Amino acid sequence: MVTRFVPSGVAALKQAADHLKFSRRSDWSFSPSVGGFEPAAQCKAPLILVQNDRVAFGIVPDLVALDRKTLKRCSHALDLDVPGGPTLAVGFMPAKLVRHAVFSLDAARTWTADTPLENSYYLFVTATAPPAQAYRQVVRMGYDMCWTGYWLLRWRASQLPGSDAILPRCQRLAQFMIARQSRGGMLPTRFADSGAVEEVRSRTVKAETGPVVLFLWELYRQGRSPKWLEAAKRGLDFLDRDVIPLRQWYDFETFWSCSPRKVKFDQRSGQWPANNLALGQTVAAYLAA
């Protein structure tokens, strides 16, 4: 979907956004941020969604259509208001920091537009999703899946209730991951709806190979299949060669969470951008090995 605003001269605006109402009561919702307001530059997962039984409706912003010049004029954001509709909004809406990485609409701010604006986004609609599970059809991150899988396996190892289905489910996830492992050993974590690897995005967050290796080590400890062991070793070789010597600890938090950065060497500090999320998980993977 694309809505286009063409001002005649200089226009003073509060916002330029589309507001869509879900026609049913929401019994389950998804937003990546407390309060439901998420500026594009802070996106942890670019999706807002509401669901009633098997019917779900969501909005995914077209982040590729945004550029720095446009975002400096006004932030592009998602806004989910469950009591007020439910209403899902997407577009150019000024943001203000509430606390840490939590933002809200800055209703007092006015901004100007003197050139055309395009609000570009995708609609997600389904009537066949399992209850409370529709978001899984949109948010596909191998990092999150493997980190969850690791803790499920730890749950199983502790012989806690409900663990019977954990091992076969984790084995299916591991098979999906190693079937997409690169020749160099990187374990990609970004995938299209078809299951195909998003190569550029996966390589941008290449340190996320570490938590996938941690998941594979734990699976090997419990399942003893040599293919999990081989894939884990190749992943460690990749980290040894392409991440650790360069200190390129690129993961989701480094670029798209509460502290957005560019993939650019910092001359002043002599470092690449880094974050310690995947670093800590990689240390745990080496200890497990």
Residues 78 and 57 in one domain: yes
Residues 183 and 116 in one domain: no
- How far is Cα of residue 61 from the mean position of the Cα atoms in its chain? 13
Give the DSSP H/E element, type plus range, for residue 39: strand 37-39
Residues 119 and 85 in one domain: yes
Structural domain including 166 reads 140-288
Which residue, chain included where needed, has tokens 């996938």?
212
- How far is Cα of residue 122 from the mean position of the Cα atoms in its chain? 16
Last residue of a domain, one of 113, 136, 159: 136
Residues 90 and 103 in one domain: yes
What pLDDT is stored for residue 257 in this prediction?
A: 58
Q: Mean pLDDT over residues 256-283, rounded?
A: 78
Q: Residue 101 pLDDT more than 80?
A: no
Q: Residue 36 pLDDT more than 80?
A: yes
Residues 51 and 106 in one domain: yes
Question: Between these two residues, 84 and 286, which has the higher pLDDT value?
Answer: 286
Residues 6 and 36 in one domain: yes
DSSP-derived pairing of the beta strands 87-92 and 76-81? antiparallel
What share of the chain has pLDDT > 70, as a percent?
95
Confidence class for position 50, pLDDT limits 50, 70, 90: very high
Indicate the number of domains in the chain.
Answer: 2
Task: Decide: 14 and 107 in contact? Cβ < 8 Å.
Answer: yes
Q: Which residues pair with 92 in a beta bridge?
A: 16, 76
Question: Between these two residues, 136 and 86, which has the higher pLDDT value?
Answer: 86
What pLDDT is stored for residue 253 in this prediction?
A: 72
Residues 194 and 118 in one domain: no
Question: How many other CB atoms sit within 10 Å of the CB of residue 166?
Answer: 18
What pLDDT is stored for residue 260 in this prediction?
A: 56
Average pLDDT value over all residues in the chain: 90
Collect all residues with Cβ–Cβ distance below 8 Å to 24 and sequence separation of at least 6: 52, 55
What pLDDT is stored for residue 6 in this prediction?
A: 95
Q: Residue 258 pLDDT more than 90?
A: no
Residues 88 and 218 in one domain: no
Q: Is 25 exposed, middle or buried (0-12, 13-18, 19+ CB in 10 A)?
A: exposed
Return the structure tokens found at 282.
Answer: 């990689």
Calculate the dihedral angle through the C-alpha atoms of 146, 148, 149, 155, rounding to the nearest 10 degrees.
Answer: 150
Q: Which residues pair with 56 in a beta bridge?
A: 51, 126
Question: Between these two residues, 48 and 133, which has the higher pLDDT value?
Answer: 48
CA–CA separation, 184 and 240 (whole Å): 11
Q: Residue 255 pLDDT more than 80?
A: no
Question: Between these two residues, 25 and 133, which has the higher pLDDT value?
Answer: 25
Task: Decide: 39 and 25 in contact? Cβ < 8 Å.
Answer: no
Q: Residue 71 pLDDT more than 70?
A: yes
Q: Residue 241 pLDDT more than 90?
A: yes
Last residue of a domain, one of 136, 154, 189: 136
CA–CA separation, 150 and 211 (whole Å): 9
Residues 76 and 208 in one domain: no
Amino acid at 40: A
Confidence class for position 259, pLDDT limits 50, 70, 90: low
Which of 17-21, 64-68, 131-135, 181-185 is the least confident region? 64-68
Residues 161 and 71 in one domain: no
The terminus-to-terminus CA distance of the chain in angstroms comes to 48
Q: Residue 126 pLDDT more than 70?
A: yes
Confidence class for position 155, pLDDT limits 50, 70, 90: very high
Q: What tens digit of pLDDT does each residue of 11-33 get?
A: 999 999 999 999 999 999 999 88
Residues 70 and 129 in one domain: yes
Last residue of a domain, one of 136, 157, 192: 136
Confidence class for position 261, pLDDT limits 50, 70, 90: low
Residues 53 and 91 in one domain: yes
Question: Between these two residues, 205 and 266, which has the higher pLDDT value?
Answer: 205
Q: Residue 234 pLDDT more than 70?
A: yes
